[in-house]
Amino acid sequence: MDEISYAPAEGLLSWTWLLIALPAIGATVLLLAGRRSDKWGHWLGVVTVGGAFALAVAMFSSLAGLDNKSANLDLFTIISIGDLRLEANLLFDPLSAVFCLLITGVGLLIHVYAVGYMAHDEGRRKFFAYFNLFAAAMLVLVLGGNYFMTFIGWEGVGLASYLLISFWQLKPAAATAGKKAFLTNRVADVGFLLAMFTMLGALGTVDFQEVFNGAGSLSTGTSLAIGLLLLAAACGKSGQFPFQTWLPDAMEGPTPVSALIHAATMVTAGVYLIARSNVIFSLNADVQTAVVVVGALTLLFGAIVGCAKDDIKRVLAWSTVSQIGYMFLAVGLGGGAFALGIIHLLAHGFFKAGLFLGSGSVMHAMNDQTDIRRFGGLWRKMPLTYATFAAGWLAIIGLFPFSGFWTKDPIIASAFAREGWQGWVVGSAALLGAALTAFYMTRLFVLTFHGPKRWTEDVHPHESPAIMTAPLVLLGLGSLGAGGLMATSVADWLVPVFGEPHEVHGHLSHMQVTIATTVVVVLGAALGWFLFRNGTDEVPRAAAWPVRFARADLGGEAVNRGVFERPSRLAASASVAMDGRVVDGAVNGLSAAIGGTSRRLLVVQTGFVRTYALSILSGAVIVVAALMVVVVQ
């Protein structure tokens, strides 16, 4: 492996810090200005993210003209103790550049949409402050030049997501969902911390350049430990098995939050961490296998549960779990598949943001109802929302020429290219996931927009205002064209990070995989259309138990309660009993014994001198008698 070297930032690239500063300043102003900014605060939030997007585009162009496509900017020293130095430095390279464009570009559209969506919310100014804070933290995460800086952004994203998911904190479900997301991520983040401690112990540094250049000297056990610990952190942040349960509950937040967290930012952080650490993951085949297994399990898990949900946002949430599974599968396969995972991540940012914002538009028209069994016939009432949602639907199921066709099919082909029987197993899982995706997304699309009207009496559907539909149109265009444009250009752009992709020959050719994927997708979509075209959602008796099991998240919540919650409660109860009966009992018993003894000794303290003189005389007589006995003997 060639030695990695990052060039110092010069020219426009020396302003990398401003990418973070713009949304951070917006958040600070909105939080400190208070109600004085209610009338204009939301536009400040939009402008700061828009400025960051413009700067990201300019810096992307500047980076493209460099031979060494990297710019490392040293800011200041955070910690300096002996040989340990933790620097605040930023890295703008091909990988962080595409993430910056995604975060600020799609984030800008979501910000604009939120202006209309949150128009009547009294806390809109505070909402945009949290939105800006989230964007700033995510930019720190992807621009950090070492694992410590990435961890700072990682934790900042966790804090901001808690504030946004529980934004309507007066709703018990929202408050609980925010706490669940926060605690689940904290458990997984222990893996990130332990990974950094292991790096410090083995290499004495957490700087990307030094870690990657020294990774070859790590023992097999050490590289395995670091890889598995980073994987645990990535699973928590990206809602992958076994930490997937927090992500669907995050739907309790406002719809723009769902779009921002599930499409362009937070859930992709785990994929970024593995992709950024590609040198470490490539060292150990066992770690790569673990990533592949997690991705394959999760993509099927999310797809199966998504087939049984009736809440429009929760279907999309489980879809995100599944699609992130495809990204994990790709980066776990290694080699050229690292770039495939990032390409699918970028395409997913467009079509999933469009789908979430489209669901918000539907909810806006349906008095905030979310049950797709109460929709139907909306395509006439909401033509723009319908058209853009259709583009996202066709993109996520992967039909030509929409973006998913260009990004998901190569991942499935790479899965089949894995050596031995594993290729057949993993490839078949990815293919089955594509069929299930087509089925549940078609079910969602048909029950929402087609079939007979099933509205409640208080509902009068209408198209959303232009400030909400304009971002939908742009995201719909991205769902159509983004995949084809990125399929080759992004792979070439990422070569300095992942190296030259090597051609693989698997069990099936790419053309055979494309034909097979298209066939199963068409069959899955056709089945979904046939079953739900009339608006019915009746479950056949033979399928009742599997559907109930899927609606119960395949037992995920029951496992969490049985494995984590109940033992924790029992341990807490036992510790309280131990503290009260044993620890406090021993302390109180000792205190009582000392108190009783002191009270008994108190009776000999009479205060009379003659009593004390008699005691002294008696003691002296006893001592003399004892000495005489000894002498006589």
Residue-wise pLDDT tens digits, 202-219: 888 899 989 998 888 888
Reading phi first (left if > 0) and then psi (alpha if -120 to 50, else beta), residue 153 is in alpha
Coil, helix or strand for 207?
strand
What CA–CA distance (Å, rounded) separates 84 from 80?
A: 6
Q: What is the pLDDT of residue 485?
A: 66
Could you say which residues of the chain have pLDDT below 70? 1-2, 264, 483-488, 501-507, 536-545, 553, 556-566, 568-569, 572, 601-606, 633
pLDDT digit string (tens) for 239-291? 888 888 888 888 888 888 888 887 767 888 899 999 999 899 988 888 999 99
Q: What is the pLDDT of residue 54?
A: 95
What CA–CA distance (Å, rounded) separates 550 from 302?
A: 10
Phi and psi angles of residue 74, each rounded to the nearest 5 degrees, phi first: -85, 125
Element (H, E) at 91: strand 84-92
Q: What is the pLDDT of residue 389?
A: 93
Element (H, E) at 89: strand 84-92
Amino acid identity at 424: W
| CA-derived radius of gyration, the chain | 31
Q: Rounding to the nearest 10 degrees, give the CA dihedral for residues 448, 449, 454, 455.
A: 90
Query: How distant, in Å, are the alpha carbons of 309, 505, 545 from that of 552?
Result: 9, 40, 11
Q: What is the pLDDT of residue 526?
A: 93
Q: 403 is written with which tokens? A: 């973006």
Q: What is the pLDDT of residue 544?
A: 64
DSSP secondary structure, 109-171, as one string: HHHHHHHHHTTT-TTHHHHHHHHHHHHHHHHHHHHBSBHHHHHHHHHHHHHHHHHHHTTTTTS
Q: What is the pLDDT of residue 187?
A: 82
Q: What is the pLDDT of residue 57?
A: 94
Query: How distant, in Å, are the alpha carbons of 623, 625, 628, 629 from that of 633?
Result: 16, 13, 9, 6
What CA–CA distance (Å, rounded) separates 435 from 517?
A: 8
